[in-house]
């Protein structure tokens, strides 16, 4: 007697046979893939690129040169991180934070500016200190030797504006010595003061020691005795609205690390 498989049973039998034949083929395919992966090829669907973190750092203008160096060093040590700096007078940076500008870290040139946005930041850490010097044209053509010389009405003196940290420090030291100065201009940040002296638009100006050092081929720096000087403190803090809070905290901590401190001090900044 001859039996004929029903269509459904025939299809089931064929499927079972096909599956049995494919098992060894699949095993061979897996073996080949394993060898390829072992050899160093990237498996399908994976990526070798490191996750990218973009940090925006608002920093005082006097940190322009050193932070560019520090940022490059940090990116080399942390390949997945990209840092974008925005430099301005501390008062401008504080205004940006108050207005909700997106950023991750704030570094100012004085503690009072940082205090104004206390509700928007984490706990600040002092990362460096600085001091004032008198910047003059190269060769000091007007023979400026001390603070009292800035009171000479024939001298074109430029200062940072009173609301700028460098301007506050300048007023502090001049008032303490009872020196009356009528500046030809008051600039929005200390780098603008330096630029005026560099370009010969001013005969002298009060800037940070590190600013004068960054333009040593264009200006001379006249030291101010410690007893007559003011010490600038630079606090750094994360911003509470940061989209990258862990990365922001890591960068702030790095600024106080031996590597970060070496870069700052090599640029002329003092220890915190």
Q: Are residues 210 and 220 in the same domain?
A: yes
Q: Are residues 124 and 61 in the same domain?
A: yes
Q: Are residues 225 and 240 in the same domain?
A: no
Query: Looking at residue 259, what is its pLDDT?
Result: 98
Q: What is the pLDDT of residues 28-59, one digit of tens each?
A: 444 444 433 433 343 444 344 555 999 999 99
pLDDT at residue 241 is higher than 70: yes
Alpha helices in the chain (DSSP H): 7-39, 64-77, 90-98, 111-115, 165-176, 190-198, 209-214, 245-255, 258-266
- Is residue 29 assigned to a domain? no
Range of the structural domain that residue 80 is part of: 53-129+234-266
pLDDT at residue 2 is higher than 50: no
Q: Are residues 239 and 226 in the same domain?
A: no
Q: How confident is the model at residue 17 (pLDDT cuts 50, 70, 90)?
A: very low
Query: Looking at residue 33, what is its pLDDT?
Result: 43
Query: Looking at residue 49, what is its pLDDT?
Result: 54
pLDDT > 70 fraction of the chain, expressed in percent and rounded: 81
Give how many domains the chain has, as a whole number: 2
Query: Looking at residue 73, what is its pLDDT?
Result: 98
Angstrom CA distances, 61 to 85, 173, 222, 249, stand at 10, 21, 21, 21
- Is residue 160 assigned to a domain? yes
Q: What is the pLDDT of residues 73-131, one digit of tens each?
A: 999 999 999 999 999 999 999 999 999 999 999 999 999 999 999 999 999 999 999 99
Closest-CA residue to 192 (of 168, 159, 216, 217)? 159
pLDDT at residue 247 is higher than 70: yes
- Is residue 181 assigned to a domain? yes
Q: Are residues 182 and 216 in the same domain?
A: yes
Q: What is the mean pLDDT of the chain?
A: 86
Closest-CA residue to 130 (of 110, 101, 145, 102)? 110
Q: Are residues 243 and 225 in the same domain?
A: no
Query: Looking at residue 50, what is its pLDDT?
Result: 56
Query: Looking at residue 22, what is its pLDDT?
Result: 39
- Is residue 249 assigned to a domain? yes
Q: What is the pTM of this model?
A: 0.79
Question: Which CATH number does the domain housing residue 225 bear?
Answer: 3.40.190.10
- Is residue 110 assigned to a domain? yes
Q: Are residues 245 and 121 in the same domain?
A: yes
């Amino acid at each position: 007697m001859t039996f004929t498989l029903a269509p459904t049973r025939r299809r089931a039998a064929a499927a079972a046979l096909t599956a049995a034949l494919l098992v060894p083929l699949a095993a061979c395919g897996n073996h080949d893939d394993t060898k390829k992966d072992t050899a160093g090829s990237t498996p399908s669907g994976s990526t070798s690129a490191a996750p990218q973190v973009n940090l925006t750092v608002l920093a005082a203008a006097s940190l322009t040169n050193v932070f560019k160096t520090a940022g490059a060093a940090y990116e080399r040590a942390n390949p997945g991180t990209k840092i974008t700096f925005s430099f301005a007078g501390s008062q401008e940076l504080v205004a940006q934070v108050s207005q909700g500008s997106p950023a991750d870290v704030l570094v100012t040139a004085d503690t009072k500016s940082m205090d104004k946005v206390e509700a928007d930041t984490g706990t600040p850490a002092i990362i460096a200190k600085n001091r004032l010097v008198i910047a003059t044209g190269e060769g000091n053509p007007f023979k400026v030797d001390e603070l009292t010389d800035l009171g000479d009405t024939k001298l074109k003196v430029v200062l940072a504006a009173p609301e700028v940290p460098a301007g506050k420090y300048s007023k502090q030291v001049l008032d303490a010595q009872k020196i009356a100065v009528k500046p030809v201009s008051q600039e929005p940040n200390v780098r603008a003061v330096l630029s005026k002296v560099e370009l010969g638009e001013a005969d002298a100006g009060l800037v940070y020691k590190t600013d004068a050092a960054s333009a040593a081929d264009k200006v001379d720096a006249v030291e101010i005795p410690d007893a007559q000087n003011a010490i600038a403190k630079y606090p750094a803090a994360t911003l509470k609205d940061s989209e990258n809070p862990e990365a922001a905290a890591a960068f702030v901590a790095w600024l106080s690390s031996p590597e970060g401190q070496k870069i700052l001090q090599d640029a002329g900044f003092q220890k915190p």
